[in-house]
Structure 1
Amino acid sequence: MSRTTRLLDLLQILRRHRCPVSGTALAQELGVSLRTLYRDIASLRAIGAEIEGEPGMGYRLEPGLMLPPLMFSEEEIEALTLGLRWVQRRADDGLANAAGDALAKVAAVLPGEHRHRMQDSALLVGPGWERRQHVDLEELRRAIRHQSKLRILYSDQHGRRSERVIWPFVIAFFESARIVAAWCELRQAFRNFRADRIEAATATGERYARPRAVLEREWLSTLLPESVSDGAYPACDTHHKRERNMQEEIVFYTNPWSRGGIVHWMLEELGQPYRMEVIEYGPPMKSPEYLAINPMGKVPAIRHGNTVVTEAAAICAYLAEAFPEAGLLPTPEGRGDYYRWLFFTAGPLEMAISLKSANFTLSSEQQMQFGCGSCETAVDTLAKAVAGRRYIAGDSFTAADIYVGSHIGWGMQFGTLDRRPEFEAYWNGLKDRPAHRRTEEAIAKAMPAEPTPSG
C-alpha cells in the first residue's frame, strides 16, 4: 500500500467515527505501527485536516473536511453531478443555489479529465414537480433545523382550511409532491402535510418538546416494515407506493344509522382527504351501482383508488397499513394484541352479543359450533383485556382502539354491554379524542329525524 493510499484510508476511517478512536485501534486497522500512525496524522494535519486528539486520548476528525479528488471514481463523479443537478431542479431556491455552488466547487478541484466528464455528463434531470408554493421550503427547512414549532394554515384536497401547530422534522421530496412529516398538536399524532397546501406558516418561537431525531425514530417506527418480497424490487417502489396511497382518492360509503361510524372515526384519525357518500337503506343500498361495491348491499365500504374494502374491521386494518405515517399501527411488539383484539371484537364478541340481543340462547354444543362461546364469557374476556390499560395494543393509540372502543362505547350506550368499571375507564380515555368528537358531530348533523329500519 502506498503512503498516499494509506493517508486517504486513514481519513476515511476517521470519517466513520464520531467519537475519538484510539491510536492503537487506527494502527491495527491500517496494519501499521503506532509510530507510523502518529507520523501519518501529523502529515494530514500539515495539509489542513482538522484532526483533534493526542496519544493516549484518541483521535477525531472534525466535520466539514472535503476529501481530495483522488477519492472520486468515475461513477462517484456521475452520482454527485446527477444528485446536485436534481437538487437544482427540484428543491427550493436556497438548496438549488447551494447545489450550484457545490457543483462549481467540486469541478474546480477535479483533475482536467474528471472535470470535463462532470461538465459533459450524459445524465440529465428532466422536468418534474412544478407547483406554486405559498410558503418557501427554505422556511420549513429552517424550522426543522432549529427544531421549532410552526403555526400553519392548511388547506386539504377539498379546500377545507384548518389551523394547526406542528413540529416539522422531515421533508420528503417525491416526484409529484413535497410532504412535510410533523407531529400535529391538533390531532395529537404524526401527520403528513402537502407542502403546496400549507397556505401560511409562522414560527411560534417554541422548540419541540422532544429532539428531532427522537421524533423521526418514533415516526419511522409507525411505518410498516418492508416485506421480504419487496427485496426483489427497487427500493423506490415502496416509497412510490406510499406516495401513491397519499394521492389516491378515498371514497367512504356509509349511513349515519350504521357501523360506518367506526370507519368515519378511523378516517378522521387518518388525517387524509376523503369523500363521503351516504347510501340510504332500501333500494339505494341494493342498487346495481352499489352492489358492484359491496355485493352484500350493506355499509360501510371504502374505495381507495381501485381497491375496494368492506367490513369495518377490515377497513380499519387496511387503512392503518395503507397509511402507516398516520401512526395507527402498533409497534411490532404490540402486533399480537392488535390483531387479536381487533378480530376478537369483530368476530366472537359481536356474534355473541347479537345472538343474545335476538334472545337466542346457545347450548354448550352450539357455543362450540358457532365458535363464539357464551355472551358472558366473551364479555368477561374483553373486560379482562382492557382492564387497567389505556390502549388495547401496546402503549400507543391504534386502529384496534377505534374498533374495540366503538363497540364498548355503543354497547354501554344502548345497553348491550354492562357499564363495568373496566369498560368505562377504557372508553373515557378514548371518547374525547378530537377525531371522535368530529365524527359524532358529523353523524349528528347527518342523522335523519327517525331511523329507517333495515336488515
Structure 2
Amino acid sequence: MSRAERLFDLLQILRRHRRPVSGAVLAREAGISLRTLYRDIGSLQGMGAQIEGEPGLGYVLKPGFLLPPLMFSAQEIEALSLGLQWVGRRTDADMGQAARNVMAKVAAVLPAELRERMEDDAMIVGHGWERPQAVDLALLRRALNESRKLSLAYTDEKGASTARVVWPVSLGFFESTRVLAAWCELRGGFRHFRADRIEAAEILPERLPRPRRQLMKEWRNTLLPESDSGVRYSISRSHDTREIPMSTDTKSADLVLYTNPQSRGGIVHWMLEEIGCPYTIKVLEYGTTMKAPEYLAINPMGKVPAIRHGNAIVTEAAAICAYLADAFPEACLAPAPEHRGDYYRWLFFTAGCLEPAASNHVLGWNPSPDMEARFGYGSYGRVLDTLDAWLQDRTYVAGDRFTAADVLLASHLQWGMTTGMIEKRRAFEAYIANHVTRPAATRADEQAEKLSAQQAWKAA
C-alpha cells in the first residue's frame, strides 16, 4: 500500500467516527503501528485536515476537508455498479433515471479497464416482485424532502379503507414491498403504510410540527427494544381474565415460537395469545438464520413456524395449533368430545386441502378433471364449495365455541382473500368477521407489525 493510499484510508476511518477516537483504535483499524499513526496524523494536519486531539486524548476530524480523489478499486466499482443497478430497477422512475445518470457519469471518467469492469454483466440485479401502486413513490419522497404532511387514502390488510393525515418519517425499499413510516394523526402514533395499499396521496401545505430528524428518533424508540432474536412476551388471556394455574412441569416449561412476522407463523402467534401462557419469540430471516444448522436441528425443512415447549418440538401450523390446545386445556381451545370429529376434520382440511388448492390456483395451475383423483384436494372449486356449504350460518367451525380450528381456518381465509389466493364469498367473509377482531388476534397483529418494522429497519 502506498503512503497516499494509507493516508486516504486513515482519513476515511476518521470520517466514520463522529466522536473522538483513541490512537490505539485508529492504528488497529488502519493496520499500522501507533508510531506510524502519529506521523500520518501530523502529515494530514500539515495538508490542512482539521484533526483535533493529541496522543492520549483521542482524535476527531472536523467536516469540510477533502483530499484529491483516488481512483476506485475494481471491487469498489463492482459494488457501485450493483447498487446503482438495484436503484435503477427497484425504485420509482425518477430515482431509477438518476441512478442510470450516475452510472454514465462515473463510467465517463474511469480508465478503460475499470469502465469495462463497471459495464460487465458478471453480476446483475433481476426484476423484483412488483405490486401495482396507485401513488408514485416520487410524491412520497418529495413529501419527505420538503418535510410536509401527507393526506392518504389507505386500505389496510383487512380491506378497511380510511382517510389519514400523516407526518412522513422514512421510506423503506424492500424486496417485496415499499413501506412509508409516518406519524398518523388518526391513530395518534407511528404507523407503517405499504405503498401498494395507498389508494391516493396529496402533499399538504402544512409543514411537519417537528423536524423530521427528531421524528425519526421518536419513531425508532417505538420499535421493540429487545433483540430481534429473542423477544419475550407475558400474555394475559383475551377471553377470560381469571388467573390460570400452570403448576405442572409441562405447563411451566419454556415456550418458544420460531417465526418470521411475514409468514404462516402469524397463525401460531395468534394461537399463543389465545392460550395466555408466557412465551418467547425468536425471529428468523429467510435464507440465513432459517437455514442455519441451529434451526435445521429444530426443523430440517428450514421453514417456520415451529415451537419448542420444554423437550417437545412441533412444526407445521395445524399441528402446533392442535398441540397447544391439548397442552393448555384451561384455555378451552379444543371442543367438547362430541364435536372433536368436526374439529379434527376442519383443522386438517385447512392444511391438507384448502392451502394446497389455493396455492396451486394462484400460480395458475389446477388439476384437469381426469387428474383430480390423484390429488387429495380434488379441485380448487370443490374445496371452496365444500367449505362454503359448511360455513353457511355458522359462527364456529366445530361446536358452539371458538377453538384452535377457528384460529387456523380464519387465518387462512383472511390471508387468502386479501391476497387473491382464495375467492371472496359471503360465507367466508361473514365467518372471519366474527374472529379476526378478537383481542388476541389484534394483539398478535400489533406485535407482528412492530417485529416487521424492527426487522425492516434494523440496519437503518
Taking structure 1 as the reference length, the TM-score comes to 0.49
Report which of the two structures shows the higher radius of gyration computed on alpha carbons: 1
